[in-house]
Amino acid sequence: MSSHPTNPIQTHPDSAAPNSIFPGEVFAKTAEFDLYIRQLLPRYDEMLEAIARCIPPQAKRILDLGCGTGELSFKVLQRYRDVQVVGVDYSPRMIEFATAKLETAGYRQRWMGIEGDFGDWANHQLSVGEGFDACISSLAIHHLTDEMKVKLFTKIRESLNPGGVFWNADPVVPESPILSETYKKIREEWCIQQGTTLAEVRKKTGKSIPYGYSQPDQLATLEAHLEMLKAAGFESVAVPWKYYGLAIFGGNKP
């Protein structure tokens, strides 16, 4: 496993080159994220719905790591009328956008956004609370090194109540060169179905620079993720959803 510098990188994109963004922000303009991510990633909404469906119906407190524009939190709040969601993201632009969106949708009393790096949380340098019934994440954790992924998975397990669950949606390393080409073609075909092209959507992306504990894509295989989850102490490790190069994986705290 690769290591990470002792001191995380703290350069803010606004002080760097034009169109520089945090890893995970993807697009240069935050307001365009919800539109273009649906063009870039096949079955994006289905993926988020799958995470929401895998949360136990009795769950009350949920942690959304790397909450971005709040789309995953939104789907969870829609599905479960009594849950409280805590969203964490190190991007002030994302937190501001998500807060406005969810307050407008009427969830002011059931959602709280925290601006912070979940890498700091994994290293016990940030407090986001404890006693969660579920932890969820989408398109964020793959920016950590494998070493930091294991630390984060361990911290997640520690933060969950007994019987709590963790579900993460992320891209994974293709299992072979042939499948790598297949996954690429699927994304290109998806973009065409949305009335655009992969090249056109990628023109909307910003230049991702390292920040905190996150870097441009640090993908791992699905098998490696499952082993990390087991090493972190999760049981009933499973893959409830997979679509070519995208997967949802996680498990239960005993």
Write the pLDDT tens digit of every residue in 8-18: 555 444 444 55
Strand order in the sheet with 84-89: 111-115, 84-89, 61-65, 132-138, 160-171, 246-252, 235-243
Cα radius of gyration rounded to whole Å, the chain: 17
148-191 confidence digits (pLDDT tens): 999 999 999 999 999 999 999 999 999 999 999 999 999 999 99
| Digit-coded pLDDT (tens) for 194-251 | 999 999 999 999 999 999 999 999 999 999 999 999 999 999 999 999 999 999 999 9
Residue 51 has pLDDT above 60, yes or no: yes
Q: For residues 82 and 110, give the distance between their C-alpha atoms in angstroms, rounded to a whole number.
A: 8
State the DSSP code for 91: -
* Average pLDDT taken over every residue of the chain: 93
Residue 18 makes CB contacts below 8 A (sequence gap 6+) with none
Q: What's the whole-number mean pLDDT along residues 100-125? A: 97
Show the tokens assigned to 218: 């640090």
Is the entire prediction scored with pTM above 0.85? Answer: yes
pLDDT value for 18: 54
Q: Are 75 and 107 in contact (CB under 8 A)?
A: no
CA distance 231 to 124: 19
Cα dihedral 251→156→62→111 (10° resolution): -150
